[in-house]
Amino acid sequence: MDPVRKPSVLITGCTPGGIGHALALEFHARGCHVIATARRLEVIQELEGKGLTIIPLDVTSKESVASCRAKVGELTNGRLDILVNNAGRPHVFPALDNDIEDARLTYETNVLGPMLMVQSFIDLLIPARGLIINVSSASSEVPYLFNPLVSAS
C-alpha cells in the first residue's frame, strides 16, 4: 500500500448488524477510504453520514458489478488495496423444502458473486498489491441439517 494515500477498501454486503457493516466502520476508524456496498442504498445511508462512500451493488448482476467497478476505479485512481467479499445469503431449509429459484440465488450470491468480484476488480488490486478477503460460513466445516445449501456454497 502506498503510504502517501489512504488505503482503499471495498466491502460487499454492508447491511447494518452484519460483519460487513462492522468491518466498514473499523476500516474507516483506522483511516482507510471505505467504499461500502449493499443492494439497496437506503439500508447503508447512515454510513455515508459518517464519511464512508456508499455504492449500490448486487454481486449476482454483471451490470451492477461493472457499474461498481467503474465507480471504484474513479474513486481510487485505479488502485484498490483491499476487496472484502462479504455479501452472503443465508438459506435455512431442509433440502427437500428448498425452492429452486431461492436456492439458485443463494448459490449465485455465495459462490459466483465473489468469483465475479475478483475477476472484475483484479486489475485494480494488482497495481496496489492488494488483498482479497473472502468472508465465509463455518457451515462448510460444520454442516447443519437445515442448512445444506449454505454448507455446499
CA pair distance 82, 8, nearest whole angstrom: 6
Q: What pLDDT sits at residue 98?
A: 73
CA pair distance 51, 57, nearest whole angstrom: 19
Average the pLDDT over 66-82 and give the result. Answer: 98
Domain ranges of the chain: 8-91+109-137
E strand intervals along 1-153: 8-11, 33-38, 53-56, 82-85, 131-134
Reduce the DSSP state of residue 37 to 3 states and report it. Answer: strand
- Contact between 86 and 19 (Cβ < 8 Å): yes
Q: Which residues lie across from 140 on neighbouring strands?
A: none
Residue corresponding to grid cell 460483519: 19
Q: What pLDDT sits at residue 2?
A: 47
CA pair distance 27, 52, nearest whole angstrom: 10
Predicted model pTM: 0.89
Does the domain at residues 8-91+109-137 carry the CATH identifier 1.20.140.10?
no
Confidence of residue 99 (pLDDT cuts 50, 70, 90): confident
Cell reading at 129: 498489491
Cell reading at 89: 445469503
pLDDT tens-digit series, residues 13-66: 999 999 999 999 999 999 999 999 999 999 999 999 999 999 999 999 999 999
pLDDT tens-digit series, residues 124-142: 999 999 999 999 876 666 6
